[in-house]
Structure 1
Amino acid sequence: MPVNRPKNDQNRLLLWGLLLLYLIGRTLQLFAGRVPNLILVIFHVVPPALFAVVHGARVYRSRGVLVFTCLSLGVGALFESVSLRTGFPFGHYRFTGLMGPKIFDLPILLALAYVGMGYLSWVVSVALAGGENRSLSGGRIVWTPMIASFVMTTWDLSMEAIWADVDHGWVWRDGGSYYGVPTSNFLGWLLTTYVFYQLFAFYLRNQKTLPARRNHYLPAILFYALSALGNLLVIAPSSLGNVFVDATGKQWMISSILHTSRLVSIFLMAPLSLVACVSLYISGRPRNADCC
């Protein structure tokens, strides 16, 4: 089949442009308090979501990325909406106005995070599972979604307390042991992401998990790594002071919250990205593959 080089080049430039846009947005965190919070949220959420659509269309075709988008948005919105009303599976919480417009109390931008970071975490997990260009069948159809759910929950582990305590994007009604965040939140992330990853895996049954050249993986894995790097740039506005007081009245040091986020980013997210890249290069795939 002939290759449409101009279109491939345009897609390549678009993907790298979205990476650059995301990096610029995360750099703006250094000016927290001077840049509107909604702008920071948009830069944090929208570029990964657009990247997922463009990159996903290349490796899964338009139909495949549409299925992933519908599953991640639908399942994520469903579980978030149920939890807002019942406390299951994440816990009891409410969103503030930080993340902009809402539908049924759920911010639209938060729902988009399931698409963007959800897709990036899926690509990282496929590389970690050694599933590039292989059929998604047998045990692979279960363990790849399981790995993906842990990869994405690791991202939430790095950011949850910052978004809730420093940025005040939402409020946990009953507090929790992780800087005012309940353990149920992370169990809820594991459950929610596993459900839509597993459904996507069923859709891909007996298909190649990423029917593309090895280097198609690299921009997506780099994007996940950049999200870890971006966490190192988070600072708290001076107006917040030194202490965050959760809904139960317990005090948490903001410096400790930022420090923990950086540790998770350095010692969990960064190694996941590195091992995913190494997995590609030890898989024995051709080295003359086109990037993106």
Structure 2
Amino acid sequence: MSTALTAHARAWRPTARELLPLLVAGALVLTAIAYPLSSGSARDVVSWAIVVLGSVLSVAHAGLSRGARTAAGVLALVVAAAVAFESVGLATGFPYGSYDYADVLGPTLLGVPFLVPLAWLMMAWPSWLLGGHLARTTRPTRRRFVRVAWAAAVFAAWDVVLDPQMVQAGYWTWASPSPGLPGIDTVPLTNLAGWLVAGAVLMTVLDVLVTRTAVPDAPRIGNAAPLLVLGWMTLGGALAHAGWLGLPGSAAWGAALAVPVLVVLAVQHRRAGAGTG
């Protein structure tokens, strides 16, 4: 018995390739826990640390799981998309609505703070990965469309939790925050619509990019690290909003938007178990 248990433990021991993303994800989660417990300039430092760790995790995981070309492509594509959408949004109000960034976010490119493309990187890659999980039981002819649709929806839903928190921190303000989602009076509905549009475009191109650049025989690693970060930043963020940040509306929306994802994953797991039983 002990020999069998030892062999099983060795089989589950993460390799150095797998350990790096997990360590970065762990550091990010611990840093995120510090956010509601900090204030003032210390909270600004925590915000930067979260975003930097999240963007490093996305690029590192893309490279370790699919090769250096994919990692470089993800970095270039997401940063370019973020600057393009955000600069147009600042100049025209499309597709999010009219808003302004605070000076506290530091240096900018075309009016877009450097922190913002890094935040997109943190959000985009885990959203695309989760979209793939949610679409895996779909018929092959429809799988790419469903994967992109799920990824764009997850990408937008993440911002439903994130945006009220950033407005509360004073990082940006909306010219006309109404009408908004019930319970959220600081962020307009146009922002959610804009994130769905941006997400659909970004995830479509990202899907093509990964398909064309991924190394077929690249050493595969699991998606645990980026999905852990996605789960913590949404559900953990909702908990922080309810318990410490005084944002019950976004907390409720974060929990509610997680339900369809959890239901689909549970159904898939049940079907997989029935298929092997």
Q: TM-score, normalised by structure 2?
A: 0.80
Match of 1:105 in 2: 111
Correspondent of 2:149 among 140, 146, 150: 146
Match of 1:267 in 2: 256
Displacement of 1:43 in angstroms is: 2.5
Is 2:203 the counterpart of 1:200? no
Higher helix share: 2
Match of 1:222 in 2: 228
CA contact (8 A) 1:87 1:93 kept: yes
Counterpart of 2:142, as a letter, is G
CA contact (8 A) 1:32 1:236 kept: no
Match of 1:126 in 2: 132
Counterparts of 2:216 and 2:175 in 1: how far apart (Å)? Answer: 41
Match of 2:10 in 1: none
Match of 1:243 in 2: none
Correspondent of 1:159 among 153, 159, 162: 162
Counterpart of 1:25, as a letter, is T
Match of 1:170 in 2: 172
Displacement of 1:66 in angstroms is: 1.7
Residues 205 and 275 (structure 1 numbering): CA distance in 2 closer, same or farther, change over 3 Å? same
Match of 1:233 in 2: 240
Q: TM-score, normalised by structure 1?
A: 0.76
Counterparts of 1:100 and 1:211 in 2: how far apart (Å)? Answer: 41
Tell me the secondary structure at the aligned position of residue 171 of structure 1: strand
CA contact (8 A) 2:166 2:172 kept: yes
Tell me the secondary structure at the aligned position of residue 173 of structure 2: strand
CA contact (8 A) 2:82 2:120 kept: yes
Residues 187 and 170 (structure 1 numbering): CA distance in 2 closer, same or farther, change over 3 Å? same
The unaligned stretches of length 5 or more in structure 1 are 1-7, 238-253, 288-292
Is 2:183 the counterpart of 1:181? no
Identity %: 22
Counterparts of 2:107 and 2:172 in 1: how far apart (Å)? Answer: 14
User: Between Structure 1 and Structure 2, how many residues are aligned?
Assistant: 257
Counterparts of 1:13 and 1:88 in 2: how far apart (Å)? Answer: 41
Match of 1:13 in 2: 19
The unaligned stretches of length 5 or more in structure 2 are 1-13
Match of 2:9 in 1: none
Is 2:33 the counterpart of 1:31? no
Counterparts of 1:182 and 1:175 in 2: how far apart (Å)? Answer: 4
Counterparts of 2:60 and 2:113 in 1: how far apart (Å)? Answer: 23
Residues 169 and 206 (structure 1 numbering): CA distance in 2 closer, same or farther, change over 3 Å? closer
CA contact (8 A) 1:155 1:269 kept: no
CA contact (8 A) 2:65 2:219 kept: no
Tell me the secondary structure at the aligned position of residue 174 of structure 1: coil
Please give the root-mean-square deviation of Cα atoms over the aligned residues, in Å: 3.3
CA contact (8 A) 1:94 1:172 kept: yes
CA contact (8 A) 1:177 1:183 kept: yes
